[in-house]
């Protein structure tokens, strides 16, 4: 849907000191039914930004977005209360494959990148996949959805930069340890590209295919403006992505190297 629905905030969940989840009633019909890995455009009646979908409950007709307070737009969202309104349009993009029955899956999320990982893991578990989750954050207080996924039946391995919870170190190092101990059939990754790029190499060397959720500056979300195109492929993150296969990732030269600002200038990682 390309026209925003103006919706009341039904519930707000304070996930961490810097992250909140906003729950909305959502009409689950046809193309309006979201899938894990898709996103919505969120309009605060002044500006509009893409947000990953972190909760999908078709039975209850609820959709959730999870927002980290990192700037002016997200700070304004964090000031809202239950009953306040936001404009949402979507869902957009390609989501994760969740039809992974009996497959051993390694899902890796860093920071607020755990938002799409959580909705993926829940759906994959419903489809009888065996899911291990590497949940990474800078510190214990910022770990996102680790308890939620344990309750759903995933095996969760936490890691923190400062060692305050679980493994001390980065998601890449934790994943390497797990791959040395276990065999996986599939992997799903979402987080900063400086995290995803080495993970991509590690998973490739272990011959584990999977999917990766990419992030770029998006304006229209319908593939018209070209703002989120990636290098020589011509792929638009909002249409051909945000989820890409291992084979597709091998064709994206800028992966882990640079992205573009709102004006189109390259910013190197």
Enter the tokens of residue 76. Answer: 């304004």
Whole-angstrom distance, CA of residue 21 vs CA of residue 11 = 8
Q: Report strand pairing: 130-137 vs 104-110.
A: parallel
Whole-angstrom distance, CA of residue 222 vs CA of residue 39 = 12
Q: Binding site annotation covers 238?
A: yes
Residues 6+ apart with CB under 8 A from 38: 52, 53, 90, 91, 92, 93, 94, 95, 242
Q: Binding site annotation covers 165?
A: no
| Coil, helix or strand at residue 258 | strand
| Sign of the CA dihedral running 237, 240, 242, 248 | negative
Q: Binding site annotation covers 228?
A: yes
Q: Binding site annotation covers 159?
A: no
Helix boundaries (H) for 62-143: 72-78, 114-126
Radius of gyration of the chain (CA): 18
Annotated binding site: 220, 225, 228, 238
Annotated binding site for [2Fe-2S] cluster: 220, 225, 228, 238
């Amino acid at each position: 849907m390309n026209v925003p629905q103006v919706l009341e905030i039904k519930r707000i969940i304070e996930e961490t000191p810097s992250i909140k989840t906003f729950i909305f009633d959502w009409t689950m019909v046809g193309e309006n039914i979201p899938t894990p890995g898709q996103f919505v455009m969120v309009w605060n009646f002044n500006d509009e930004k893409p947000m990953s979908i972190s909760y999908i409950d078709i039975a209850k007709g609820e959709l959730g977005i999870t927002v980290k307070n990192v700037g002016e737009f997200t700070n304004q969202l964090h000031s809202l209360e239950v009953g306040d309104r936001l404009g949402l349009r979507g869902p957009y993009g390609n989501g994760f494959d969740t039809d992974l029955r009996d497959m051993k899956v390694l899902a890796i999320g860093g920071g607020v990148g755990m938002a799409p990982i959580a909705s993926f893991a829940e759906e994959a578990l419903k489809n009888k996949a065996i899911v291990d989750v590497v949940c990474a954050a800078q510190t214990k207080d910022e770990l996102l959805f680790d308890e939620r996924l344990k309750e759903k039946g995933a095996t969760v391995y936490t890691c923190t930069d400062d060692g305050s919870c679980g493994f001390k170190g980065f998601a890449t190092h934790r994943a390497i340890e797990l791959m040395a101990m276990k065999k996986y059939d599939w992997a799903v990754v979402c987080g900063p590209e400086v995290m995803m790029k080495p993970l991509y190499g590690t998973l490739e060397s272990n011959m584990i295919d999977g999917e990766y959720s990419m992030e770029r500056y998006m304006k229209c979300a319908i593939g018209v403006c070209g703002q989120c195109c990636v290098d020589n492929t011509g792929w638009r993150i909002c249409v051909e992505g945000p989820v890409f296969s291992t084979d597709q990732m091998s064709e994206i030269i800028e992966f882990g190297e640079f992205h573009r600002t709102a004006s189109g200038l390259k910013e190197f990682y």
